[in-house]
Amino acid sequence: MKIIFASNIFSQPWFILVLLIAFFGIIALLVFILRAKFKINKVEKPKDDKQVAKENLSHYLQDVDDPETQKEFDEYAKKEQEENKDGSTNKGDEKKNK
């Protein structure tokens, strides 16, 4: 009689539903525990516009091998940094003042 009852319970729709919910609940619990343990982070920090522009330019441009040209680039970058430190970031104002 117990065997008939056991086989009868597995054919019930509510029992199948409970088994499916329990199965997927266990999978979700395992994923949650693994993410908490290994600190998996899908979201990347947004990049600022200057960094994105630099990456895009470096993707399309080749490195400069000529030392004189590289020196000019370094001087220009140094000049730009000094101008940014002085607070004059707007290039249009400099042209108007000259």
Rounded CA gap, 47 and 51, in Å?
6
Of residues 26 and 73, more confidence is placed in 26
SS3 category, 11: coil
Among 36-40, 64-68, 83-87, 89-93, the range scoring the smallest mean pLDDT is 89-93
Per-residue pLDDT tens over the stretch 73-98 = 889 889 988 888 876 555 555 544 44
Q: Pick 81 or 26 by higher pLDDT.
A: 26
Inform me whether the pLDDT recorded for 63 exceeds 80: no
3-state SS, residue 67: helix
Hey, where are the domains in the chain?
Answer: 2-38, 49-87
List the alpha helices (DSSP H) in the chain: 2-10, 13-38, 49-60, 67-86, 91-97
CB 73 within 8 A of CB 64: yes
User: Residues 61, 56, 65, CA angle at the centre, nearest 5°?
Assistant: 25
Q: Who's near 30: CB < 8 A, 6+ residues apart?
A: none
- Mean pLDDT of the residues in the chain: 78
Give me the mean pLDDT over the 3-17 stretch: 73
**Amino acid making up residue 88:** S
Least-confidence region, from 4-18, 49-63, 74-88: 4-18
Return the higher-pLDDT residue of 97 and 47. 47
